[in-house]
Structure 1
Amino acid sequence: MSQFNPQDQQVPNSLHQKLVQPNGRFNYIFLAKKAFRVLRQTFWPLFQACLALFFIVLGGALLLVNVFPVAVLTQMPPQQQVIIDIVSVLIFAPLTTGLSMMGINAIRGNVVNSGHVLHYFPMVLVLALAQLLISVMTQVGFTLLVIPGLYILMATTFTLPLIADKQLGILAALKLSVSVVNKHLLSFVVLFTVFLLLFLISMVSFGIALLVVMPFYFVVMGIVYSALFDNDPSHESVSKSQELVFDA
Structure 2
Amino acid sequence: MSENNTPPPENNHSSPNEPAAENGRFNGFNGGYDFDIKSILKRAHTLSSQNNWTLVLALACIWATTLAIYLVYIDAFGITDIALLITPESPLTQTQQVMIELTLTFALAPLWTGVNMLAINTMRDKSVPVFSIFQYFRLLPALALASICVDILFTFGFTLFFIPGFYIFAVTTFTLPLIADKKIRPLKAIMCSIKMSNVYIWKMLQLYLIFLAMLVVVFISFGIAYLWIGPLYFNAKAVLYQDLFCIDQSSESDESSIKNEGLFNA
TM-score range, shorter chain: 0.7 to 0.9
CA distance in 1, matches of 2:174, 2:162: 21
The question of 1:209 aligning with 2:225 is answered yes
Contact 1:141 1:148 in 2 (8 A): yes
Matched, 1:54 2:60: no
TM-superposed CA distance for 1:58, in Å, is 4.0
Match of 2:116 among 86, 91, 100: 100
- Pick the aligned partner of 2:52 from 43, 58, 80: 43
TM-score normalised to structure 1 length: 0.81
Structure 1 residues 165, 207: CA separation in 2 closer, same or farther (over 3 Å shift)?
Answer: same
Q: 1:236 to 1:147 in 2, by over 3 A?
A: closer
Query: Are the aligned partners of 1:38 and 1:219 in contact in 2 as well (CA < 8 Å)?
Result: yes
What SS does structure 2 have at the residue aligned with 1:74?
A: coil
- Between the aligned partners of 1:214 and 1:49, the Cα distance in structure 2 is 11
Larger radius of gyration: 2
Structure 2 gap segments, 5+ residues each = 1-13, 20-25, 249-253, 260-266
State the partner residue of 2:99: 83
Indicate if the aligned counterparts of 2:57 and 2:130 stay in contact, CA closer than 8 A.
yes
2:131 is matched with 115
**In the alignment, is the contact (CA less than 8 A) between 2:15 and 2:247 conserved in 1?**
no
Q: CA deviation at 1:208?
A: 2.6
Higher relative helix content: 1
Summarize deviations over 1:181-213 as a string: whole Å, max 9, x none. Answer: 000001111110011111232022222321221
Residues 237/186 of structure 1: CA separation in 2 closer, same or farther (3 Å cut): closer
Query: What's the secondary structure of 2:17's corresponding residue?
Result: coil
Could you list the per-position Cα deviations for residues 203-234 of structure 1 after superposition, in whole angstroms to 9, with x for gaps in the alignment?
A: 22222321221111111100000000000544
Residue 157 of structure 2 corresponds to residue 141 of structure 1: yes
For residues 203 and 57 of structure 1, the distance between their equivalents in structure 2, rounded to whole angstroms, comes to 19
State the identity %.
31
Question: What is aligned with 2:243?
Answer: 227
Give the structure-2-normalised TM-score: 0.76
The equivalent position to 1:11 in structure 2, one of 14, 17, 39, is 17
Partner of 1:151: 167
**1:25, 1:187 within 8 Å by CA — same for their partners in 2?**
no
Alignment of 1:67-78 (within 5 A): 67-68=78-79, 69=81, 70-71=83-84, 74-78=90-94
CA gap 1:110/1:140 in 2 versus in 1, 3 angstroms: same
Report if aligned partners of 2:45, 2:232 keep a CA contact under 8 Å in 1: yes
**How large is the RMSD of aligned CA atoms in angstroms?**
2.8
User: Which whole-Å deviations, capped at 9, do the CAs of 1:14-51 have from their partners, x for residues lacking one?
Assistant: xx99x9xx986521232122222222122232122122
Higher mean displacement: 29-38 or 178-187: 29-38
Corresponding residue for residue 168 of structure 1:
184
2: distance between equivalents of 1:195 and 1:42?
A: 19
Q: Could you say what secondary structure the match of 2:121 adopts?
A: helix
Q: Which amino acid aligns with 1:176?
A: C
The 1-side partners of 2:227 and 2:141 are apart by: 27
Q: Distance in 2 between matches of 1:178 and 1:159?
A: 9
Distance in structure 1 (CA, Å) of the matches to 2:96 and 2:205: 35
- Give the aligned partner of residue 9 of structure 2: none
Deviates further, 108-117 or 217-226 = 108-117
User: Measured at CA, do residues 198 and 61 of structure 1 come closer, stay the same or move farther in structure 2, by a change above 3 Å?
Assistant: farther
